[in-house]
A and B are shown apart, each in its own frame.
Chain A
Amino acid sequence: MSALEVRDVVVDYEARGGGRVRAVAGACLTVEPGQIVGLVGESGCGKSSLARAAVGLVAPTAGSVFFEGAPVSPLTRRARPRELIRLQLVFQNPYSSLNPRRKVGSQLGDALDALDLVPRRGRSARVRELIELVGLPATAADGYPHEFSGGQRQRIAIARSLAANPSVIVLDEPLASLDASAQAQLANLLVDLSRDLDLGLLLISHDLAIVRHIADAVSVMYLGLMVETGPTLPLWQVPLHPYSEALIGSVPHPDGTGFLPEALPGEVPDPANPPSGCRFHPRCPYVFDRCRTDDPPLVPLQDGRTAACWLQPQGAPVALPGDRVKGVNLPR
Chain B
Amino acid sequence: MSELALPRRAPRFHWLKASRRQPLAVIGATIALTWIVIAVFAPLIAPYGSLAQTFTPAQSPSLHHLFGTDELGRDVLSRVIYGSRVSIPIALLLVALASSIGCVVGAIAGYFRGLVDGALMRAVDLFFAFPPIILAMVVAAVLGRGLQNAALAIVVVAWPSYARVVRGLVLSVGDSEFVQSARLMGTPARRALFRDVLPNVAGPVIVLATLDLANAILLLSGLSFLGLGAQPPQAEWGSMVADGTQYFQWWWMGTFPGLAIFTVVLAFNFLGDSLRDVLDPRTAWRSSEEQA
Contact = CB atoms under 8 A, between A and B. Distances in A.
Interface string A175-200: 00000001001001000000000000
Interface string B165-177: 0000000000011
A163 B185 contact: yes
Interface stretch (B68-76, B94-102, B192-200): B192-200
Contacts of B199: 99, 101-102
A151 B1 CA distance: 13
B185 A164 contact: yes
B43 to A, nearest CB: 42
B172 to A, nearest CB: 11
Nearest to A89: B184
A155 to B, nearest CB: 7
A80 B176 CA distance: 17
B112 interface: yes
Given A110-B187, A114-B186, A164-B186, A97 B181 contact: yes
A76 B290 CA distance: 34
A139 B3 CA distance: 14
B29 interface: no
Interface string B1-19: 1111111111000000000
B182 interface: yes
B279 to A, nearest CB: 11
A95 B190 CA distance: 24
A286 interface: no
Contacts, number: 107
Given A100-B200, A135-B1, A182-B3, A114 B178 contact: no
Interface residues of A, number: 50
B185 A185 contact: no
Contacts of B5: 149, 152
Nearest to B173: A99
Which has the most chain A C-beta neighbours within 10 Å: B9, B10, B185?
Answer: B185
Interface string A97-133: 1111110000100110111000000000000000000
A251 interface: no
Which has the most chain A C-beta neighbours within 10 Å: B6, B186, B289, B290?
Answer: B186
26 contacts: A57-B180, A75-B184, A79-B187, A79-B189, A82-B186, A85-B184, A85-B185, A91-B181, A95-B290, A97-B178, A99-B182, A99-B196, A100-B178, A101-B200, A111-B186, A136-B2, A137-B6, A139-B6, A140-B7, A146-B290, A147-B8, A147-B9, A160-B185, A164-B184, A164-B185, A182-B3
